[in-house]
Amino acid sequence: MRFWLSTCLLAALSAPVMAQSDDSLFISKMADEILTSGKSYENLRVLCKTVGGRLAGSPQKVKAEQWGLETLKAAGADRVYLQECMVPHWTRGGKDQAWYSYTDASGKQVKVALDVLALGNSQGTGKNGVKAPVVYCANFDDLEKQKDNIKGKIVFFNHPFNEKFLQPFRAYGEAGVYRRSGPSRAAKYGAVAVVIRSLSGSTDNNPHTGATQYDSAYPKIPCAAMGLKDADKLSALLQEGKKIDLFYQSNAHFLPDTIGHNVIGEIKGSEFPNDYITVGGHLDSWDPAEGAQDDGAGCVHSIEVLRVFKQLGYAPKHSIRIVLFADEENGGRGGEAYAAAAKQNNENHLFALESDAGGFTPRGFGFSMSAEQLAKIQPWVKLLLPYGVYQFTMGGGGSDIGPLHQQLKTPVCGLVPDGNRYFDLHHARNDVFENVNKRELELGAANMAGLIYLIDKYGL
Amino acid sequence: MRFWLSTCLLAALSAPVMAQSDDSLFISKMADEILTSGKSYENLRVLCKTVGGRLAGSPQKVKAEQWGLETLKAAGADRVYLQECMVPHWTRGGKDQAWYSYTDASGKQVKVALDVLALGNSQGTGKNGVKAPVVYCANFDDLEKQKDNIKGKIVFFNHPFNEKFLQPFRAYGEAGVYRRSGPSRAAKYGAVAVVIRSLSGSTDNNPHTGATQYDSAYPKIPCAAMGLKDADKLSALLQEGKKIDLFYQSNAHFLPDTIGHNVIGEIKGSEFPNDYITVGGHLDSWDPAEGAQDDGAGCVHSIEVLRVFKQLGYAPKHSIRIVLFADEENGGRGGEAYAAAAKQNNENHLFALESDAGGFTPRGFGFSMSAEQLAKIQPWVKLLLPYGVYQFTMGGGGSDIGPLHQQLKTPVCGLVPDGNRYFDLHHARNDVFENVNKRELELGAANMAGLIYLIDKYGL
């Protein structure tokens, strides 16, 4: 019986195995090209070192759009263009400043400099800054307990990453609410400013910025993030019962919304030119660094998919659109504009893939589509296994392709690289080119090219 | 029929699923402990920053042994001791120096400083150094073709890592022969020295040392490695037809063999105290750096396995021996001594695990044992999957447990972390604590603890 079963299985498996052998050869050819003559690493160097940080609305973002057009053209795109959208224009307005002071055991006044970054989209303090006593809040429950003691104070939210979460993205999700909602929650009880523990599990002291969201029901109070060592130190002093005054000064402010662009490069489909597969990352990045992992990596990943197709003379059946989105970090307007245009033009979108979790060694892809669709493509995992991807999981996508999924029901997917180092760099000044490994970056592109090739060839 | 089949399968799977659920809970408990209160990262910091490079025979290695004894004791070992063995005692004898010179197009003499590291176990040049014309050899075939032109020259082997190899360890294996055998192969034809392209695929210019092996049939000529940028530059000049003289000076030399030690910490088995499971890494490391990834990581990984068992009150059935081996890098004497003692004492060794591929995110374990044994343990992969290990593959182990495998037929295994960054740091001056990520390191220890727990509980 065992012999019979194994013979049946062998017969059943033979046809797909043969077909997959051609696929495996072509994916290997793409990986060879990317690993030996790839352009993703050099493209990223140019973006990081000649443009640097490029928040929506900034002059650097305009420069980055030019880089995107030229790089997509050089990669061989049939057509390269800009897609206009209005974007927010927030600016830090110079260096954020902070210090705190307290009286030590000997009665001496101690003043400690604090390395902070204003949260993105936050309101500055004016040039005189704000100075007030600090109230420690471990979390929102703690804030509620102390609500009568918040007025006129600066609230310090010190919610750490949960180290037990095996996926740092889960820790980010849980702690992220203090960055997004902390300022308005504290403003509700009369706080004059908020400082938070950075959303990171790093071992250094870099502060991590990132967008906050004000609730229009309450005053828009200034808010900033500090590094983890500073947060531990400040927290320890407060737990000891020290009375601490904190000074914070920031020139952060909004300018009027301005024009930004998604940068798009296309290969026209050989069989279904009006059916689109989107591959993208976001071009905007926070101002304190170079946006190397977040999300320069995703941009050069995506461009490399197009380049390798062209370089190897592969003519996809469907139109492939590489999109470098305009404004993921503090507005999401690029992704909204892309979906709106797709809807308006009655475009048929087969699939969308985003890389926005860094250029680290790939481990998988996460999909938002039907269980049947996921089951159909599961066997492809073994084709990508040599390049590091060992699982396709349900759930995932990307901020910029979210509107496409919501509005056009497009199946979407996100590259899942190793996540252990992402939040050491994310939105912090060490997110620079030097902290990207060439082969890790290239393997991300190789797996993305493999997946897009298979989806283009077999559909969903 | 489908209902029947699924019911049968469910019944068949229920028992192991229940058992694995306990295992999965305990492994999760160990991971929680390691990720939230682990000592591996701090232990590594102390080793790197208070001891640093610690080649066999060096005073730093003696200091490292003390660190090992104290750290194992603090981790809760029932018994801690040193196992003596004779080790080689090679020393660099100060800074290696090199430069090369040529006449440029305008007739001007150009002198270029070259950043080199003498290969481990190599002979120095004497204080006056050696100066001779350079002969470029792409590989050994190239050397054979030029054999009549080698006498009195310095041979430059410039064999790069093959970027198509998806496992950098394979590229290292292929290129490694030029470091190990290049000097004697060139000496056979009268070369006075050898310089090699470092065994790395990095994007920087750090030279990478590592042991060479002289063939006693030929003169022991001096040899050194240069960084990849320098190798590319020198190579380009030679390909252009430039006549290049190279100067190299090194004080490298051997002192008489000396006494070294394996550092051992044990937990006595609760049921089978005379059956041993060995878990180890090597304590020695090359002199130019701190031996953080190679192999401080393996040492602290191994100690953490013992610590977490003790911390959670888990009493293994078999005796667990944590071994910090004395001399992997330039002799292998620690592993030989350990196997010899095991043989002499008629010890029964159930299994041995080595971590010597760095403290990067774990991806798998590689085993050298029977296909039946591997098949038996394959289902455990799903218990480790949450912590990053997704495959058990045939083949693997470690240099230090190799003698145990060869002489006592002990099944052995090596941790397989992500390999993409290893050879950027390996044997180079950037193998320092700062280039180890805390969570990646800890996940290695968590998976090792999980595997050892399962092997201790269920056997092979």
Q: Look up residue B93 and give its amino acid.
A: G
> Could you report the per-residue pLDDT of B84-117, keeping only the tens digit for each?
999 999 999 999 999 999 999 999 999 999 999 9
Q: What is the DSSP letter of A119?
A: P
The phi and psi torsions of A232 (rounded to 5 degrees) equal -65, -40
> What part of A 272-301 touches B (C-beta under 8 Å)?
none
Higher-scoring residue by pLDDT: B250, A19 = B250
Active site (annotated) includes residue A434: no
pLDDT score of B197 more than 70: yes
> Could you report the per-residue pLDDT of B403-429, keeping only the tens digit for each?
999 999 999 999 999 999 999 999 999
For residue B9, the model assigns a pLDDT of 35
With a cut of 0.85, is the ipTM above it?
Answer: yes
Class at the top of the CATH hierarchy for domain B20-90+256-458: alpha beta
> Quick one: pLDDT band at residue B13, thresholds 50, 70, 90?
very low
Question: With an 8 Å Cβ cutoff, is B161 touching chain A?
Answer: no
What is the distance between the terminal CA atoms of chain A, rounded to a whole angstrom?
Answer: 36
User: Which residues, other chains included, contact A417 with Cβ-Cβ below 8 Å and sequence gap of 6+?
Assistant: A357, A358, A359, A360, A361, A362, A363, A440, A444
pLDDT score of B11 more than 90: no
What's the gap in Å between the CA of B287 and the closest CA on chain A? Answer: 25
Pick the closest to residue A198 from A235, A158, A242 (CA basis). Answer: A158
For residue A20, the model assigns a pLDDT of 57
- Distances from the Cα of A148 to the Cαs of A153, A189, A247, A327, in angstroms? 11, 7, 22, 39
Contact (Cβ atoms closer than 8 angstroms) between residue A195 and residue A235: no
Q: How many residues are given for chain A?
A: 460
Query: Dihedral, CA atoms, B154, B156, B157, B162, nearest 10 degrees?
Result: 170
Contact (Cβ atoms closer than 8 angstroms) between residue A201 and residue B439: yes
Cis amide bond preceding A295, omega within 30: yes
Contact (Cβ atoms closer than 8 angstroms) between residue A120 and residue A90: yes
Nearest CA in chain A to B441: A420
Q: Do A361 and B163 touch (CB under 8 A)?
A: no
Predicted TM-score (pTM) of the model is: 0.94
Pick the closest to residue A407 from A338, A318, A327 (CA basis). Answer: A338
Contact (Cβ atoms closer than 8 angstroms) between residue B76 and residue B307: yes
Contact (Cβ atoms closer than 8 angstroms) between residue A379 and residue A16: yes
| Comma-separated ranges of CATH 3.50.30.30 domains in chain A | 96-251
Residues of A whose CB is below 8 A from B438: 203
Pick the catalytic residue from B65, B290, B328, B347.
B328
- Distances from the Cα of B1 to the Cαs of B4, B7, B198, in angstroms? 5, 10, 62
pLDDT score of B225 more than 80: yes
| Rg (chain A; Cα; Å) | 24
Region B202-214: mean pLDDT is 98
User: Which residues, other chains included, contact B455 with Cβ-Cβ below 8 Å and sequence gap of 6+?
Assistant: B277, B350, B351, B377
Pick the catalytic residue from A65, A266, A304, A328.
A328
**Residue whose structure tokens are 């283009």:** A456
Pick the closest to residue A323 from A276, A362, A357 (CA basis). Answer: A276
Pick the closest to residue B307 from B125, B414, B446, B423 (CA basis). Answer: B446
**Which residues face B118 on adjacent strands?**
B224
> Quick one: pLDDT band at residue B3, thresholds 50, 70, 90?
very low
What is the distance between the terminal CA atoms of chain B, rounded to a whole angstrom?
Answer: 36
CATH number for the domain whose boundaries are A96-251: 3.50.30.30
pLDDT score of B17 more than 80: no
> Could you report the per-residue pLDDT of B254-297, keeping only the tens digit for each?
999 999 999 999 999 999 999 999 999 999 999 999 999 999 99
> Could you report the per-residue pLDDT of B286-318, keeping only the tens digit for each?
999 999 999 999 999 999 999 999 999 999 999
A361 vs B201, B203, B418: nearest CB = B418
Contact (Cβ atoms closer than 8 angstroms) between residue A258 and residue A89: yes
> What part of B 374-403 touches A (C-beta under 8 Å)?
386-387, 390-391
For residue A408, the model assigns a pLDDT of 97
Ranges of chain A whose pLDDT falls below 50: 1-18
Question: With an 8 Å Cβ cutoff, is A420 touching chain B?
Answer: yes
> What part of B 210-269 touches A (C-beta under 8 Å)?
none
**Fold exhibited by the domain A23-90+256-458:** Aminopeptidase (3.40.630)
| Comma-separated ranges of CATH 3.40.630.10 domains in chain B | 20-90+256-458
Nearest CA in chain B to A421: B437
pLDDT score of B18 more than 60: no
Look up residue B357 and give its two tokens.
Answer: 């591929």
- Distances from the Cα of B374 to the Cαs of A203, A350, B78, B406, in angstroms? 38, 42, 31, 18
> Quick one: pLDDT band at residue B8, thresholds 50, 70, 90?
very low
